[in-house]
Chains A and B, each alone.
Chain A
């Protein structure tokens, strides 16, 4: 059971990568998990090609799973293009997280990915799968 909080998860939770805010970001969105009120905002800056993610940061508050997963996501997507990240499957992130999650905790783990998808969808028109499209309304543009 304690695998849930294995060292790498706790490390990302306590020392989140890419934690912060980008002022005047090229793309940004924020979202919340209505179950617990947790919030995540993500800010993206593109490179000169207007496509490659040069810098990506997140802010907000949440449980170890949501914060660690979002922190891991920041490392995963930096240097990739908006198109690539638009196509990034949740399984790829879940594999990186590497722990079995119950359906409720899955919502925590995928909050950051959903917010990032919404941000890219709004700024670059990347596809927004149905599971996140329903949440689009609640994700205010920062």
Chain B
């Protein structure tokens, strides 16, 4: 197949970095095709965290002793690398959170709840993960703002033609979208949407949880105002994520969590807040996880984001070509050139749970469910889909095994 010839990374070689992939499930080599839900971790990330715990662990920004200094240096060093990873102008603008969901909630509570009111409009898309849908729906309801949704075309792309109509007569305050859809793999035209949002005087929030692992991110080129992502989807540990925000917005915002570390001065009468980014990092941070996040970013840079994007593009094109011949399959989402390494589908007469179960017998792990995208499922008229998702360690023959497994499912269910 074409993947080998055009690939700019060597997935077979990279797999040696991932200890978890060297195992069998039900007597078959594990084919992990669920990286969109969470990625596996390379030895380099695991080693960085273990070594940090073994040699340099302490709390950060507190002690004056040597170990605390080393821990702080490692933690802030990780932040600096993540800042460069998304080409943010300053390390003060990059806040460590628990995950992308918390990053988005931070913006919803600390910005939305304080800013929106009756007559304002908050816009999301039909393609959002619940994490970039529910907080806005909730905050709109709490503030009396109206909540609108950009619909999808039949091919699973955002229908931007209706933007002005969606906006209505209200005062558009915020537009929230993902850069890459976790359910369909659609790569959304964020630059275009951002330009429109800014014309309306609105703030642009981008959920990059599904994009940051797979393509180069440049917040200055995107020109958005907030961008959220999670380490665990990009070869890093669970428990840490990041929010990048435009400095003037972050400075104007009230804190989200209150407590230790985020303060400047606490008195009975009044408390003042610390500088960015500390104002938004109350309590002890996920320290070793942040160090692992930094190591993950190093790993992705080493492999090359452009190479990853190209490789996954080849994989998804191959998968679509391979799967289209499976009897009774219905594939969702746009053409390969408009999507990342995600393929959502249904098998006629076989529920996704049952498909995933039969694939597990073959050692093939895929996701079956609503992918935290119930509005999208409603649009597709289904309760759930199957989803296979790829990463830098995915092999073309794993896609072949997926296709063969689907034939077995067809056989079991007749």
From the candidates B352, B370, B412, B414, name the one contacting A2 in the complex (CB within 8 A).
B412
Give the residue name and chain of the B residue nearest to A38 (CB). Answer: B383
Question: Which of chain B's residues 331-349 have a Cβ closer than 8 Å to chain A?
Answer: none
Question: Does B384 count as interface, using CB distance less than 8 angstroms?
Answer: yes
Question: Does A106 count as interface, using CB distance less than 8 angstroms?
Answer: no
From the candidates B354, B361, B384, name the one contacting A37 in the complex (CB within 8 A).
B384
Contact yes or no, B353 A65, CB < 8 A = yes
Q: In the assembled complex, which residues on chain A have CB atoms less than 8 Å from the CB atom of B352?
A: 36, 63
Taking the nearest CB of chain A, how far is it from the CB of B411, in angstroms? 10
Question: Does B369 count as interface, using CB distance less than 8 angstroms?
Answer: yes
How far, in whole Å, are A105 and B353 apart by their CA atoms in the complex? 9
Given known pairs A5-B413, A64-B351, the reply for A35 and B369 (CB within 8 Å) is yes
Question: Does B137 count as interface, using CB distance less than 8 angstroms?
Answer: no
How far, in whole Å, are A36 and B384 apart by their CA atoms in the complex? 6
How far, in whole Å, are A61 and B413 apart by their CA atoms in the complex? 16
Given known pairs A37-B370, A37-B377, A63-B351, the reply for A4 and B384 (CB within 8 Å) is no
Q: In the assembled complex, which residues on chain B have CB atoms less than 8 Å from the CB atom of A62?
A: 351, 353, 383
From the candidates B354, B361, B370, B383, name the one contacting A64 in the complex (CB within 8 A).
B354
Contact yes or no, A37 B357, CB < 8 A = no
How many contacts A-B (CB < 8 Å)? 51
How far, in whole Å, are A35 and B84 apart by their CA atoms in the complex? 37
Contact yes or no, B383 A5, CB < 8 A = no
How far, in whole Å, are A105 and B374 apart by their CA atoms in the complex? 21
From the candidates A4, A37, A108, name the one contacting B383 in the complex (CB within 8 A).
A37
Give the residue name and chain of the A residue nearest to B353 (CB). Answer: A63
Taking the nearest CB of chain A, how far is it from the CB of B115, in angstroms? 31
Taking the nearest CB of chain A, how far is it from the CB of B408, in angstroms? 10
Q: In the assembled complex, which residues on chain A have CB atoms less than 8 Å from the CB atom of B369?
A: 35-37
Contact yes or no, A10 B414, CB < 8 A = yes
Per-residue CB proximity of A61-74 to B under 8 Å, as 1/0? 11111010000000
Contact yes or no, B361 A1, CB < 8 A = yes
Q: In the assembled complex, which residues on chain B have CB atoms less than 8 Å from the CB atom of A55?
A: none
How far, in whole Å, are A105 and B354 apart by their CA atoms in the complex? 10
From the candidates B354, B370, B412, name the one contacting A63 in the complex (CB within 8 A).
B354
Contact yes or no, B383 A39, CB < 8 A = yes
Per-residue CB proximity of B400-414 to A under 8 Å, as 1/0? 000000000000111
Contact yes or no, A36 B353, CB < 8 A = yes
Contact yes or no, B26 A37, CB < 8 A = no
Q: In the assembled complex, which residues on chain B have CB atoms less than 8 Å from the CB atom of A35?
A: 369
Give the residue name and chain of the A residue nearest to B373 (CB). Answer: A37
Count of A residues near B, CB < 8 Å?
A: 18
How far, in whole Å, are A65 and B414 apart by their CA atoms in the complex? 16
Question: Does B368 count as interface, using CB distance less than 8 angstroms?
Answer: yes
Given known pairs A36-B352, A39-B383, A64-B354, the reply for A5 and B370 (CB within 8 Å) is no
Per-residue CB proximity of B349-386 to A under 8 Å, as 1/0? 01111100110010000001110001001000001100
Give the residue name and chain of the B residue nearest to A32 (CB). Answer: B383
From the candidates B357, B383, B412, name the one contacting A61 in the complex (CB within 8 A).
B383
Q: In the assembled complex, which residues on chain B have CB atoms less than 8 Å from the CB atom of A38?
A: 351, 353, 383-384
* Residue of B350, B351, B377 contacting most chain A CB atoms (<10 Å): B351
How far, in whole Å, are A10 and B374 apart by their CA atoms in the complex? 28
Taking the nearest CB of chain A, how far is it from the CB of B147, in angstroms? 21
Question: Which of chain B's residues 4-59 have a Cβ closer than 8 Å to chain A?
Answer: 26
Q: In the assembled complex, which residues on chain B have CB atoms less than 8 Å from the CB atom of A4?
A: 357
How far, in whole Å, are A105 and B377 apart by their CA atoms in the complex? 21
Given known pairs A37-B377, A63-B353, the reply for A1 and B413 (CB within 8 Å) is no
Q: In the assembled complex, which residues on chain B have CB atoms less than 8 Å from the CB atom of A67?
A: 351
Taking the nearest CB of chain B, how far is it from the CB of A33, in angstroms? 9
Taking the nearest CB of chain A, how far is it from the CB of B351, in angstroms? 4
Taking the nearest CB of chain A, how far is it from the CB of B98, in angstroms? 21
How far, in whole Å, are A2 and B362 apart by their CA atoms in the complex? 12
Contact yes or no, A1 B383, CB < 8 A = no
Give the residue name and chain of the A residue nearest to B360 (CB). Answer: A1
How far, in whole Å, are A17 and B243 apart by their CA atoms in the complex? 52
Taking the nearest CB of chain B, how far is it from the CB of A18, in angstroms? 19
How far, in whole Å, are A39 and B384 apart by their CA atoms in the complex? 11
Question: Which of chain A's residues 60-101 have a Cβ closer than 8 Å to chain B?
Answer: 61-65, 67
B residues within 8 Å of A by Cβ?
A: 26, 350-354, 357-358, 361, 368-370, 374, 377, 383-384, 412-414
A residues within 8 Å of B by Cβ?
A: 1-2, 4-5, 10, 35-39, 61-65, 67, 105, 108
Q: What are 13 inter-chain pairs, A to B, with CB distance below 8 A?
A: A1-B26, A10-B413, A36-B353, A36-B370, A36-B384, A37-B369, A37-B370, A37-B377, A37-B383, A38-B351, A61-B351, A64-B350, A65-B354
Q: A37-B370, A64-B351, A64-B413 are in contact. List 11 more A-B contacts (CB 8 A).
A: A5-B413, A10-B414, A36-B352, A36-B369, A38-B383, A61-B383, A62-B353, A62-B383, A64-B354, A65-B354, A105-B353
For the complex of A and B, list the 6 residue pairs with the smallest distance between their C-beta atoms, beginning with the closest: A63-B353, A63-B351, A37-B383, A37-B370, A36-B369, A64-B354
